[in-house]
Structure 1
Amino acid sequence: MPLYCLLTPQGRLVSCLSGALMLYSCSAPAASSSAPPVIAPDSTVQVAAGPQYLRGPVHQFFWGRHYRKIWAEPVRAPVLNLRTAVPGGLTPIQEGGSFQTKNLRLVDRNGVQYVLRSVDKDATKALPPRLQNGPIGKLMKDQTSVIHPYGAYIVPPLAEAAGIYSTNPRLVYVADDPALGKFRKSFANALYLLEERPEGDQSLVSSFGHSAKVESSRKVFTNIRYRPDYEIDTRQYLRSRLFDMWLGDWSRREDQWRWASFLTPDGTTRYRAIPRDRDHAFFKFDDGFLTKIISWVKSNYQSFHKEIRLSDVEGLNRAAEPMDKTLLVYLTADDFRQVADSMRHQLSDAVIKKSLTVWPANIYKLSGAEFEEKLRSRRDQLPMVAAKFYELLSRDIELPGTDKPERFVIEPAGEGKVRVRVYQQHMQHADSLSGQRVFDVSQTRSIKLYGLGGDDIFELEGLPDKRFAIGIYDGAGQDIIRQKLDTPSDIETSVTVFDSGDGNTLNLSKAIKIEPYQPRANEFDAAGWLLRHRLF
């Protein structure tokens, strides 16, 4: 039975929880709780997203206050009319969703896709069926209250101000509409967010950069590891990631992204990040006795506090770490500082205050002052947080090539520093620089270079500081690994070549350690890299 609170046209306020636990009396006759009333298309309803989360003081002491009052507060929402929502109407085509959110994909007459995402969540779907309706399942369902049901509402104006792409969710109520077809039973009588589905041709959507081709993470990561003529706009991705931290959105795994593609004048395809699914933004978890203890163990369960503690930055970014380490590897400390500083200025007090006014007045009354204070405070911490983020990503570097031939050049760059340059090899003209970065031993302890596929070249132009642990992995091709012969042989270094023995040419001094290794099938080509780092 749906979990909702509905104000009918007759004035009766009904609260349903597992078959109607409560009934709030009004002046009109009582409405039956066994079935929702018929609602005319193009009307509005007064509805609460989750009145069942409003619990007593003892429960809240142990399991958190969270956003329970917000979930129980009725808001006015328009009833979605599938026949008139867009010209030609919307047709439901596919049910989907994660372990928490229930989704329904819709398509218009031009093939443009939209998605309905349930405001209420149900994490119990991740449990075995025998546990879903027991005490554990009920507790997991109760913890949906850690999410602000209308948090996604305020993200688009903030994202626009910060120069970040975003979806544009609109709160709607789906009644018992025959146009739902075979999805009627599962999706009728509940609140949803209706938004564009970032996929395919989005040339008419400004918040996706008017991209004519939006692609999935799986497609994009495959392209950039297979061929060097695909690249990520890394500063724009960094901007998006700092924005995530500002919102306290810790669940940013690869499926939470889509990518707008653009063709550059030199024929390269450049991808710009489109964050989606803000379910875990503004997370409020550690305000109960037991949930606080759990947050110490599950350090990625970061709550939306006034301060972004530096000790929390690692946990806050754990879900996105494989992406971050791969996509941000060439950015410098200056890049991180510049992006953070610009965002701090773009996200002004006026921008923050205006973004919160998109909430219904009663929701703003409950959350507005709290969010305004927290967003201002967290914004001012962005440069400090960016510096910590850079520090974490710089400890251990993994620098992959592609399945095409590359040339890796390693050379000392001063006391305690080493420079790594990666070139795309060309047969007909000079090699072109794909990326470079200088690493400092005070920040970086290990650097691993992966040739992946293709016949790669690794060149040591001098021996780097021995405090760097540098590993060279040849990959799937027949590679050349060579060192300048005039390098003194008595210099100590910590460079190790991992040789798979598939016909590589090694021209190295005794200062370089060579270790045979047997990679697992496809481990160090593009397909293996994607699998190993969950970038699919």
Structure 2
Amino acid sequence: MLYSCSSPAAPSTTALPAIRPDSTVVVAAGPQYQRSGLYRFFWGQHYRALWALPVTAPVFNLRTAVPGGLTPIREGGSFQTKNLRLVDKNGVQYVLRSVDKDATKALPVSLQGGMIGRLMKDQTSVIHPYGAYIVAPLADAAGVYHTNPRLVYLADDPALGEYRTAFANALYLFEERPEGDQRTVASFGRSAQVESSRKVFTNLVASNQYRVDARQYLRSRLFDMWLGDWSRREDQWRWASFSTGSGATVYRAIPRDRDHAFFKFDDGFLTHIIGWVKSNYQSFHENIRLQDVEGLNRAALPMDKSLLAYLTHDDFRQISDSLQRQLTDQVIADALHVWPAEVQKMSTTEFNQKLRSRREQLPAVADKFYQLLAREIELPGTDEAERFVVEAVGTDKVRVQLFRLLPQGDQLISQRTFEARQTRIIRIFGLGGNDAFEVRGALSSQFTISLYDGAGQDLFTATLAAGASPHVTIFDSGDGNILRVADPIKVEKYQPQAQEFDAAGWLLRHRLF
């Protein structure tokens, strides 16, 4: 698995085809979330007032919305959001994403209509109904890829055909669908091929010719934290692919589905208690909970550990400082003016204050995030042949280098130096191919280093300095490896677990199998 550290130029906002509304309508997204004062005391005020607020939205006519019209082709969505996929006359795909949500679909059918189902449905009010609407201009200023949602009202349009009953008469966000050829979309990097996470992670483990732009991904992740968007698991991303002159492919992250940005959960007696138990349910306050950056990022942790493994503390600081400079007061003010006028009156003051305050915390958040990821490091190879070199480079420091094995000579792919004051555990996974592992020098006993062979016949060698007593263990699955090592390096037999870095286990690890 390979990671590039270059960053693309900041994307500029693309324009969706101009929506030509036949009319406008004034409608509330969710008046059903209004509750009594006693109920709100226990279960929270959340964004109920915004859900009940009538806003002005253009009526979306499938026949005239874009030149040549749009044809609905498929219903989709997650457990909460209802989606309708559309295609224009040129084959370009778009999607209508429901503003209202329904989390009860994740429950067994027997519970959906009962008290638990009603409570889960009510907690849709923790989501800002128009939050995703302002993310695009903020992301554009931050240099983060993004979709460009527009608020529309879908009336009882006969052009919906078989989808008319399920989708008519509701508010939606109309946006591009990040998949396939997106050379016309600047906010997707004008990539000729946008891929799913499943396809990308399969490629990353298959060949060292596929790489992720790690600095660009980190920029997206720090932007997530600024927005308070904690729901960033693997299926919330798409990936813009770019070919390099050397024949490699670099992937850059496209975050999508901003439903949980600006989450507001802990303003009720019971939800406040739940929020401390479920630390990922962090509300969008003026201050980010620095003591629990881990909870805020729990959903994305498997991806973060894999994709950010070779970035240094300086990388984290540079990108957080860059975001601070780019997310100016004027950028924030301009983004908030994208909201419908009715929403601006209710939310602008609050969001101006919170976004500015959270921006000032970005360097501290980046430091905490780095410390979290640096505790235990996991460095995978690919299913091709590679060479790992683990070498002492100073007092309580170790450098790990990953080389691609080529007939004309080994090519350095990635490297990073780790310090014992930040990192104590390093796990290296060979995956497939006939790999080589080399251990060198006066390795500090402060590190616990584990080397996993994976498939193929691997070579392990050690050249230790006199008196060195490192904690290095080779995990040998017994498929014909050559071990040229001696004490104090340990060798243990093992059977790879279901979520180890190999084949289907890689997808299982990232919840994509």
TM-score class, shorter: over 0.9
Query: Is contact 2:498–2:508 with CA below 8 Å preserved after alignment?
Result: no
1:444 counterpart (423, 430, 441): 423
Work out the percentage of aligned pairs sharing the same amino acid: 70
In structure 2, the residue matched to 1:487 is 465
Q: Which amino acid aligns with 1:365?
A: K
Structure 1 residue 501: Cα displacement = 1.2
Query: Is contact 1:402–1:526 with CA below 8 Å preserved after alignment?
Result: no
Q: Deviations over 1:278-333 (max 9, x none)?
A: 00000000000000011111111010000012112101100000000000000000
Q: Which amino acid aligns with 1:307?
A: N
Is 1:421 equivalent to 2:398 in the alignment? no
Q: Deviations over 1:30-52 (max 9, x none)?
A: xxxxxxxxxx9711110000011
2:210 counterpart (230, 250, 254): 230
Counting only pairs closer than 5 Å after superposition, residues 228-377 of structure 1 correspond to structure 2 as: 228-377=208-357
SS in 2 for 1:79: strand
Gaps of 5+ in 2: 1-19
Query: Is contact 1:453–1:524 with CA below 8 Å preserved after alignment?
Result: no
Q: Which amino acid aligns with 2:425?
A: S
SS in 1 for 2:299: coil
- Tell me the TM-score normalized by structure 2: 0.94
SS in 1 for 2:172: strand
Are residues 310 and 521 of structure 1, via their aligned partners in 2, closer, same or farther at CA, if it must alter by over 3 Å?
closer
Gaps of 5+ in 1: 1-39
Is 1:128 equivalent to 2:105 in the alignment? no
Q: Hey, what's the Cα distance between the residues in 2 that align with 1:247 and 1:521? A: 34
In structure 2, the residue matched to 1:22 is none
Structure 1 residue 361: Cα displacement = 1.6
Q: Hey, what's the Cα distance between the residues in 2 that align with 1:372 and 1:138? A: 33
Question: How many correspondences in the alignment?
Answer: 494
Q: Which amino acid aligns with 1:466?
A: S
1:459 counterpart (438, 452, 455): 438
Query: Is contact 1:412–1:464 with CA below 8 Å preserved after alignment?
Result: yes
Q: Hey, what's the Cα distance between the residues in 1 that align with 2:29 and 2:499? A: 48
In structure 1, the residue matched to 2:62 is 82
Structure whose CA Rg is larger:
1
Q: Hey, what's the Cα distance between the residues in 2 that align with 1:520 and 1:272? A: 30
Are residues 378 and 524 of structure 1, via their aligned partners in 2, closer, same or farther at CA, if it must alter by over 3 Å?
closer
Q: Hey, what's the Cα distance between the residues in 2 that align with 1:359 and 1:298? A: 31
Q: Hey, what's the Cα distance between the residues in 1 that align with 2:432 and 2:498? A: 13
Structure 1 residue 528: Cα displacement = 2.2
Q: Hey, what's the Cα distance between the residues in 2 that align with 1:523 and 1:154? A: 39
Structure 1 residue 535: Cα displacement = 5.0
Is 1:99 equivalent to 2:99 in the alignment? no
Counting only pairs closer than 5 Å after superposition, residues 481-520 of structure 1 correspond to structure 2 as: 481-484=460-463, 487-488=465-466, 490-520=467-497
SS in 2 for 1:204: coil
In structure 1, the residue matched to 2:505 is 528
In structure 2, the residue matched to 1:24 is none
Q: Deviations over 1:402-457 (max 9, x none)?
A: 00001000001111110000001112x11111100011111111000000000000
Are residues 533 and 197 of structure 1, via their aligned partners in 2, closer, same or farther at CA, if it must alter by over 3 Å?
closer
Structure 1 residue 532: Cα displacement = 2.7
- Tell me the TM-score normalized by structure 1: 0.90
Q: Hey, what's the Cα distance between the residues in 1 that align with 2:469 and 2:512? A: 36
Higher RCO by CA contacts (8 Å cutoff, separation 6 or greater): 2
Q: Hey, what's the Cα distance between the residues in 2 that align with 1:526 and 1:323? A: 16
Structure 1 residue 56: Cα displacement = 1.6
Structure 1 residue 524: Cα displacement = 4.1
Q: Deviations over 1:176-202 (max 9, x none)?
A: 111111111100111100100000011
Query: Is contact 1:323–1:535 with CA below 8 Å preserved after alignment?
Result: no
SS in 1 for 2:84: strand
2:413 counterpart (415, 434, 456): 434
1:178 counterpart (119, 140, 158): 158
Query: Is contact 2:302–2:509 with CA below 8 Å preserved after alignment?
Result: no
Q: Hey, what's the Cα distance between the residues in 2 that align with 1:447 and 1:43? A: 60
Is 1:208 equivalent to 2:188 in the alignment? yes
CA root-mean-square deviation: 1.3
SS in 1 for 2:57: strand
Structure 1 residue 534: Cα displacement = 2.6
Q: Hey, what's the Cα distance between the residues in 1 that align with 2:327 and 2:21? A: 39
Structure 1 residue 521: Cα displacement = 7.1
Query: Is contact 2:31–2:53 with CA below 8 Å preserved after alignment?
Result: yes
Query: Is contact 2:380–2:501 with CA below 8 Å preserved after alignment?
Result: no
Q: Hey, what's the Cα distance between the residues in 1 that align with 2:229 and 2:420? A: 31
SS in 1 for 2:35: coil
Q: Hey, what's the Cα distance between the residues in 1 that align with 2:354 and 2:501? A: 44
SS in 1 for 2:488: coil
Q: Hey, what's the Cα distance between the residues in 2 that align with 1:454 and 1:520? A: 19
Q: Which amino acid aligns with 2:451?
A: I
Structure 1 residue 522: Cα displacement = 9.1
SS in 2 for 1:464: coil
Structure 1 residue 342: Cα displacement = 0.5
Q: Hey, what's the Cα distance between the residues in 2 that align with 1:194 and 1:308? A: 30
Query: Is contact 1:405–1:424 with CA below 8 Å preserved after alignment?
Result: yes
In structure 1, the residue matched to 2:36 is 56
Q: Deviations over 1:194-245 (max 9, x none)?
A: 1000000111111111111111011111111110111111100000000000
